[in-house]
Amino acid sequence: MSYVQISGVTKTFGDVRAVKDVSFEAERGEFVSLLGPSGCGKTTTLRMIAGLETPTEGTIEIGGEDVTKQPAYERDIGMVFQHYALFPHKTVGENVGFPLKMRGVDKAERRERVADALEMVRLPGTMDRSPTELSGGQQQRVALARALVFEPNVLLMDEPLSALDRVLRQQMRIELERIQEEIGITTIYVTHDQTEAFSLSDRVIVLDQGELSQQGSPLEIYENPQSEFVGEFIGQSTKLSGTVTADDDGVTLRTDSGLSLESGESNLTHDTPALAFLRAEKLSISKTPTGAANELSATVTTVSYLGEKTLFFCTLATGEEITVAEHGFTNVGEYGSGDEVFITIPEEKLLLVEDASNGEPA
């Protein structure tokens, strides 16, 4: 039995079903991310775990205890909010000491534990300052210290880095990882940012329109998407639809446009309508044919040099648009719009997903 167990949870607001029959679990000490676009129900799910919303159906268990109907203040959960939610009328020390005060910890011990918590988030000596004097990144650290100082059972974070700028976001992400590893607290993290979810999590849960789409390690999610939504939402890829042909030679996808793409392993059976996701960074581009399998001829539309990588936006001979990303590419100058090029898709890297729409026009 897992430490946090979400079973068949549904949440309805009026006529809107924000979360539909979602079940997942988190082991003790595990870092789990809920990943999805805005409106996918990830924040609502987190708020139900926190006790700020009550599920319409389903149960939430923490440490083997059913807490579904328990109010937030009895759950012993630390939560970090998107916009920090610090108390503006209290000092940093009073903010961090608040959960201890509510638990009846005496003043002297409170001061000591608050100092330790601020030390942990690398903000020593800020106790008597007002949170409104601090920068966004510092406020987020205070919020984290406040959520951890009472040693809660579970730490919940709702897009904690989204209000920070890019550089600060990366620093805080590394900091978060360090702190979480240091204290080993079970963490559930909500984000729409794939980089955050992948770099921090042991396990990623992808939500789509209130439903659980797929869960697994970042590697599994990225390399083996199980649905059209996950294939499109994660990474940057070109989608081609067609039908699977499976024979002794292996699995081939015949696209609706008439291309024939060989795939390494696939558990899809003959005649299954399927989608291929061509990840931009798994494709390679060249001016001359290499003779490899899965080589497609195309015309360059735009070349976009981004420094660490170069994006080639091309049109296949069959008309589809395709994006190729090359890393550390130095002969960018040789490519220009209108050039004839050859794009290779390594067959072991062709991602095939069963087409749930069953070939019906979308």
- Verify binding: residue 83, another protein, rule CB under 8 A: yes
Pick from 14, 64, 88, 328 the residue near another protein by CB under 8 A: 88
The letter for the amino acid at 111 is R
CB atoms within 10 A of CB 29: 14
How many chain residues touch another protein (CB under 8 A)?
Answer: 27
- Verify binding: residue 102, another protein, rule CB under 8 A: yes
d(CA 142, CA 86) in angstroms, rounded, equals 8
Q: Minimum distance between the CB of residue 108 and another protein, rounded to whole angstroms? A: 19
What element of type H or E holds 228?
helix 228-233
List, in sequence order, every residue forming a beta bridge with 37; answer none if it has no partner: none
- Verify binding: residue 89, another protein, rule CB under 8 A: yes
- Verify binding: residue 52, another protein, rule CB under 8 A: yes
Q: Minimum distance between the CB of residue 147 and another protein, rounded to whole angstroms? A: 8
CA 106 to chain centre: 40
Residue closer to another protein, measured from CB, 97 or 225: 97
d(CA 317, CA 206) in angstroms, rounded, equals 34
Q: Minimum distance between the CB of residue 266 and another protein, rounded to whole angstroms? A: 45
Q: Minimum distance between the CB of residue 86 and another protein, rounded to whole angstroms? A: 7
Residue closer to another protein, measured from CB, 75 or 169: 75
- Verify binding: residue 79, another protein, rule CB under 8 A: yes
Q: Which string of x and - marks every residue 139-158 that binds another protein (by CB under 8 A)?
A: -------xx--x-----x--
Q: Minimum distance between the CB of residue 49 and another protein, rounded to whole angstroms? A: 10
Can you list the alpha helix ranges (DSSP code H) found in 31-135?
42-50, 92-102, 107-120
d(CA 83, CA 161) in angstroms, rounded, equals 9
- Verify binding: residue 81, another protein, rule CB under 8 A: yes
Instruction: Classify residue 211 as exposed, middle or buried by CB count within 10 Å of its CB (0-12, 13-18, 19+).
Output: middle
CA angle in degrees (0–180, nearest 5) for 293-294-299: 130
d(CA 180, CA 148) in angstroms, rounded, equals 10
Q: Minimum distance between the CB of residue 172 and another protein, rounded to whole angstroms? A: 19
Residue ranges that bind another protein, judged by CB under 8 A: 50-52, 71-73, 75-79, 81-83, 85-89, 98-99, 102-103, 146-147, 150, 156
